[in-house]
Amino acid sequence: MDHVTKHPSLWIETAPPLPRAPLHGDLSVDVCVVGAGITGITAARLLKRAGKTVAVIDARSVGGGETGHTTAHLASHHDLYYSDTIEKYGEDDARMILESRRAAIAQIESFVADENIVCAYERVPAYLFAEDGSGERDLREEIAACQRLGMNAEWVERVPAPFPVRGAIRFANQAQFHPLQYLAAMADRVDGNGSHVFEHTRALSIDSGAPCRVQTDRGTIDCRDVILATNSPVNAVGLLITRIAAYRTYAMAFRVDPASAPLALMWDTADPYHYIRVHHAGDATFLIVGAEDHKVGARENEAKADVQQDESTSAWRRIEGWTRGRFAASEIAAQWSGQILEPADGLPYVGKHDEHVWVATGFSGDGMTNGTMAAMLLSDEILDERSAIARLYDPKRLDLMASIKDYVRENVDFPMHLVSDRLKKAGTDRLRDVGPDEGKIVRFGKEKLAVFREASGEVHAFSPVCTHMGCLVHWNGAESSWDCPCHGSRFDARTGAALNGPAAKGLEARDVSDRESALPTVEASAHNVPRDTLTSFPARESRTSVV
């Protein structure tokens, strides 16, 4: 798998995907789905069940994007607290949002039961807990809102974990599963009888005519409808891209004694918050903890940009410290990161983007639940079965008065970075200053280059200009990628290929071999960056996770 291979998730480690063939030549189907994650595969399965032929394409592999990098919580509660939801949308709409999330969990359970999918699916309780007085006050307000909506929510003084809390809300009948085991089985049931799942097939352009035409690097697919299910829509521009903000988020899996492991979903009222679950695999039990969200491309200390320190490097260390202060966790089994898109008003954007082009994005930290909900909504719409919730998630809605503060805050980065990063001094003007397993912005004459040196000494150089809207990328040392701070595109350090959208094209390669061959050997030890020099990054203002 070529997505964040430096830190594979627990799901990838315990259920590596079986390879599937790419598209070969041209094809005609009823629906083309771009993206083989939870949304795309679920929509394809629903449409095939209804008699449609479907082709799912993915630039990587099934689950190789964000579905493989989640923590896989399935919860009817969501990131936008229901007290805030009622205030923004009213009680009736809040109840519809709640019901759409309940329906998504029920749909997953139905697939698991009806199609005999082995994926560690189980119903568990969930706890939203507070460790301080401010969080307790938030909980008191939230439980009142939840009970108004008819949720089975009760106040409890303790959580099933070995640390004290100020109080918690217990939600019965939530769920968890192994996302890649689930997705692989679902993909198997899409393939065949005129429907297909193609890996390593990148969408290059979408023509929304009649028929629609999806041009890929492996051939052309003609179809009646196209679903863009790639987390960030391919080459998204215009109004939609201004209403989703890209964040990196982090998770770790610790081996624990099964007797002390809480069989529950848990998350706290901190900002950004921590979220917890347990996964059993054979004789091993893992405590999975996620947290530490930050804007893509953010560095902890811009004043130290010349040494390329970034927020990613210390996020896992802070998660480890928080976890060991509360649980008897032993060795770290896996650590990974994911990318989440925060919508300006707290709800996903799901629905018609163009005449026969449909989009699903902005899932916040609720990708598995929201992704399934989105697949259900889009399949209903394509089958001309009008969904009652369609207007709530309409991607063309625009109620800035309900979200103007978040909208302005999230969009200030684009003009700021577009200008300031071009004026900022490069990290160095010498290739020899780029150490092994390190990336830096290097100035060659009038041009800046994004340069990465492998541990072997091999150098890869690219234009630092993001192919989406022209911002300059930043180095992400923890994940060995070039990240755009404007709209969240990420690029592979070795190949320049796009890892995360909205960029569809990779960074432009530059040849520096003639200059590199004249340089003396670089000693790795001379370029190591002390990890303990990293400082704290300001916490973001909205609640997020990779659940």
pLDDT value, residue 59: 92
pLDDT for 510 equals: 87
pLDDT at 506: 86
pLDDT in the model for residue 522: 42
Whether 92 is covered by a domain: the verdict is no
Range of the domain at 401: 17-69+180-236+347-406
187, 170: one domain: no
Q: What is the CATH number of the domain that holds 326?
A: 3.30.9.10
Asked whether residue 288 falls in the same domain as residue 171, the answer is yes
Domain C-terminal end among 325, 343, 361: 343
Question: Measured between alpha carbons, how far is 340 from 410 in angstroms, rounded to an integer?
Answer: 14
User: How far is CA 442 from its chain centroid?
Assistant: 30
Q: Are residues 227 and 296 in the same domain?
A: no
pLDDT at 419: 43
Same domain, 293 and 153: yes
Tell me: do 337 and 399 sit in the same domain: no
Which residue type occupies 482? W
48 phi and psi angles, rounded to 5 deg: -65, -40
Amino acid at 170: R
pLDDT in tens, 446-489: 788 999 998 888 899 999 998 887 888 988 887 788 988 887 78
Based on the domain organization, do 300 and 315 belong to the same domain? yes
H-helix or E-strand containing 133?
Answer: helix 133-148
CATH code for position 481: 2.102.10.10
Other beta carbons within 10 Å of 219 = 16
Note whether residue 494 is domain-resident: yes
Q: Domain end: 406, 426, 443, which one? A: 406
8 located within any domain: no
Residue 205 and residue 58 share a domain: yes
Domain assignment of residue 43, yes or no: yes
25 and 43, same domain (yes or no): yes
C-beta pairs of 82-85 under 8 Å, 24+ apart in sequence:
82/142, 82/145, 82/146, 82/149, 82/151, 83/141, 83/142, 83/144, 83/145, 84/346, 85/145, 85/346
Let me know whether 272 and 172 are in one domain. yes
Q: Which residues of the chain have a pLDDT value below 50?
A: 1-4, 237, 300-310, 400-402, 407-408, 410, 412, 414-420, 422-423, 518-547
- Choose the final residue of a domain: 309, 343, 377: 343
Asked if 247 and 307 sit in the same domain, the reply is: yes
Within-domain flag for 104? no
- What's the CA angle centered on 524, arms 522 and 526, to 5 degrees? 85
DSSP bridge pairs for 54 = 31
- Among residues 61, 519, 70, the alpha carbon closest in space to that of 288 is found at 70
Let me know whether 224 and 295 are in one domain: no
CA 412 to chain centre: 22
Same domain, 248 and 162: yes
Angle at 96 between CA 93 and CA 97, to 5 degrees: 90
Q: Is residue 1 part of a domain?
A: no
| Domain total in the chain | 3
**397 within domain boundaries:** yes
Whether residue 135 contacts residue 270, with contact meaning beta carbons closer than 8 Å, is answered with: yes
**Residue 83 lies inside a defined structural domain of this protein:** no
Maximum separation of any 2 CA atoms in the chain, in Å: 72
